[in-house]
Amino acid sequence: MAALRWRCDTLARTRMRHAPLHALECAKLLCLCPIPVAPNLTYCAVLLLLQAFVGFCLQSNGIIFPWNLTGDISFADIAAAGGPAAQWDALPTNAKLQIIGFVGFLEWWGENAYALAQSGEKHYMRGGKPGFFPSFNKGGIPHPVPLELYDPFGFNKGASEEKKAKSLVAEINNGRLAMIGIMGLCSASKGLIVPGLDGLGITPYSGEYMAPLTSSDSLPFVADMLKFSL
């Protein structure tokens, strides 16, 4: 099993290294996290998958923030574009880049050998613990970060190893259910038959989930990317 896990992680890492736009696909899917590293154990991956599923449900039901996203664009304006994926397409380019940049930072920080060493760990491919996410405050970030990504309120600080192991299994299962859920919702929005979901009246989406940027984003290479087809 350990050898199989190593092989799967290595293949995933190779795919990400040679096809970095796969990281952007995840943002379009509202997962907001490229999930190549120890995919079943990475805490931020599970957390963001759960947020993706809950966020899709909230956005589909018109639950939005009452204030403005920018100076002249409100969250209501974005919500008027349609379902969650159409709302992503309607975001200003700078907003998309901020989200993608934040996701990229989390991925880089989780892979950073120095940050891992400051938290007393090594990279999981070099004998470290799979899924471990290093501390922000121990890693030398030049300004304090009030909350860590993992266990921000310290609830698990004194937990036993047995309790942590049990919680890890529950978290993995929740993450897998969230994967099934978010992909089911996306599939139903494209008109596919998804038992239990296709009758919920999910707003149809005519765009492309695998294209994180659209023609409205005036960035280099985007127009050429959108012309690509299999």
Q: What is the pLDDT of residue 224?
A: 83
Residue 151 has pLDDT above 60, yes or no: yes
Q: What is the pTM of this model?
A: 0.70
Query: Where do the H-state alpha helices sit in the chain?
Result: 2-18, 21-28, 43-60, 75-79, 84-90, 93-111, 113-118, 161-189, 222-227
Q: What is the pLDDT of residue 19?
A: 38
Nearest CA among 19, 43, 56, 31 for reference residue 121: 43
pLDDT tier at 116, thresholds 50, 70, 90 = very high
